[in-house]
Structure 1
């Protein structure tokens, strides 16, 4: 199989033959042709097959009412006692609701609420306990903020409770593979879903992750996840993909996925990157953890935006929003 990674550009000068990336302001006039066992080759857009051109260029529909014509921020709200990134600072419901409201005010277009840690080495949380953590928080937030709320869960029972409380998006790190009932519920309820790639289970995923070609292997796996979601009754217009930084990946794997992120536009759906405060940032920068990794997280978010990612899942919303505003002004000349 041959793959085509668009070389993403912004602003002018824009050649006449250039195509828009995902119907937005970014564009591409060249692509990197990739095939297993062959060296990469740069080709003009005219040499990109029509099916790839169509998927790369087609506008992405709004997600839960939010247009994706520019990078949008998804604020992370971990309602857990053992999050790797914030040490359970949002475990108290009142604190979680206030923090979520602050994220929305600071520029988060979505809020992603999760009641189960899936950090490396973590174990599954019973559905009842997960529901108890997220249900009241989502109900309170949905009454206070306009931003759509996503439920970060692998379980159908939790998703049902979250949607009843006010959530309107499902973000599943198992790509609907953990609970067989979740895909059917999302299809029946008409919910957008975020399908993330992971190799292995959280308990063991970082033991010794291996790939033949991490970029192409993850692309193929996500293509399979999208096809299975469609077969379950979830249309492509309601699907987002996430390459799963840190979920069964080494530092080198993570960097290769970020560097090649634009390839995933070839799936014809919005792309989300969630790299905020993750371990590879600490290993490269020396930052110990938590908020100390915010600068590195913002740097990775800006690279993802430059590659055309429609969603950036982050802890540090205000910092990322400010950086995006300046980046956008420089790249497009739009200061608002």
Structure 2
């Protein structure tokens, strides 16, 4: 099935790099390195040069912290989306938000995707996507409140819960008018989950792929990687790429990342091993 992300389409054999661009002063990973608008724009230029097909712009860090109003979130992302849209017409622009009013504003500014990391906390976000002609990322968070950490959350079967909830979210999006080819599902590693849950989702990601919806994974430097290897943020690249390889073998289509080049090479290698992608060059033993 052709994947449609706003004004852009991709064939079903395409894997996509979604590069993270934080318009926040307190991101867990970059610690505000792209808080200033010009620094964020430099980050966009870099990841485009590295081959990212999508940028995911966020105005609020996921972790608990200072309350950010809807007006402040809009001030951080709306004009920036318009600037990126003008500079990169062929780039897919995603915005990481759970708020419908922010979603509507960024769609008007040129966003192609609404990446709802909080599992439909604002039920009107699907309407913003439909009215703005945007794709939507439907995540599983176990019903946790935005910007809170999970505490002793239990599932009879975390994979079954992730499938049930993301498919229900997808159905709501389609009922609101988002085309099926513009709906993506995401198990949302770490969100509403402990490390064992995220490992189980990684191991069984093929069950989500089997639903027929394109699957996005956001693995980069996550806590489940850090806890599994007992490594701090900044030392989790190898673990991230190992998890990425497992998800790529299962057939994940979109990878939300900090490190574009390393993730692209990992995914391309795995897809070639799986027989889904031809090598760029294959002359050994042939000439």
Matched, 1:182 2:140: no
- Rounded Cα–Cα distance in structure 2 between residues aligned with 1:112 and 1:75: 6
Matched, 1:302 2:245: yes
Please identify the structure whose Cα radius of gyration is greater.
Answer: 1
Partner of 1:100: 44
- Rounded Cα–Cα distance in structure 2 between residues aligned with 1:161 and 1:187: 13
Superposition TM-score, scaled by structure 2 size: 0.89
Per-residue CA deviation, residues 33-82 of structure 1 (Å, 9 max, x unaligned), is: xxxxxxxxxxxxxxxxxxxxxxxxxx343434241413211111111112
Alpha-carbon deviation of 1:206? 1.6
Superposition map of 1:1-336 within 5 A: 59-64=1-6, 65-67=8-10, 68-119=12-63, 121-122=64-65, 124-145=67-88, 146-175=90-119, 177-199=120-142, 200-289=144-233, 291-332=234-275, 334-336=278-280
- Rounded Cα–Cα distance in structure 1 between residues aligned with 2:111 and 2:5: 13
- Rounded Cα–Cα distance in structure 2 between residues aligned with 1:330 and 1:238: 28
Superposition TM-score, scaled by structure 1 size: 0.77
What is the root-mean-square deviation of aligned Cα atoms in Å?
1.9
- Rounded Cα–Cα distance in structure 2 between residues aligned with 1:60 and 1:132: 34
- Rounded Cα–Cα distance in structure 1 between residues aligned with 2:268 and 2:179: 32
- Rounded Cα–Cα distance in structure 2 between residues aligned with 1:132 and 1:225: 28
- Rounded Cα–Cα distance in structure 1 between residues aligned with 2:67 and 2:146: 9
- Rounded Cα–Cα distance in structure 2 between residues aligned with 1:66 and 1:141: 19
- Rounded Cα–Cα distance in structure 2 between residues aligned with 1:60 and 1:123: 40
Q: Do the aligned partners of residues 178 and 297 (structure 1) sit closer, same or farther apart at CA in structure 2, a change above 3 Å counting?
A: same
Q: Do the aligned partners of residues 326 and 227 (structure 1) sit closer, same or farther apart at CA in structure 2, a change above 3 Å counting?
A: closer
Moved more, 62-71 or 193-202: 62-71
Alpha-carbon deviation of 1:259? 0.7
User: How many aligned positions are there?
Assistant: 275
Partner of 1:24: none
- Rounded Cα–Cα distance in structure 1 between residues aligned with 2:73 and 2:51: 27
- Rounded Cα–Cα distance in structure 1 between residues aligned with 2:96 and 2:39: 18
Per-residue CA deviation, residues 261-292 of structure 1 (Å, 9 max, x unaligned), is: 11112332111011111111111122210x32
* Alpha-carbon contact 1:153-1:170 (below 8 Å) kept: yes
- Rounded Cα–Cα distance in structure 1 between residues aligned with 2:117 and 2:257: 15
Could you tell me which runs of 5 or more consecutive residues in structure 1 were left unpaired when the two chains were aligned: 1-58
* Alpha-carbon contact 1:194-1:241 (below 8 Å) kept: yes
- Rounded Cα–Cα distance in structure 2 between residues aligned with 1:234 and 1:191: 8
Could you tell me which runs of 5 or more consecutive residues in structure 2 were left unpaired when the two chains were aligned: 281-287
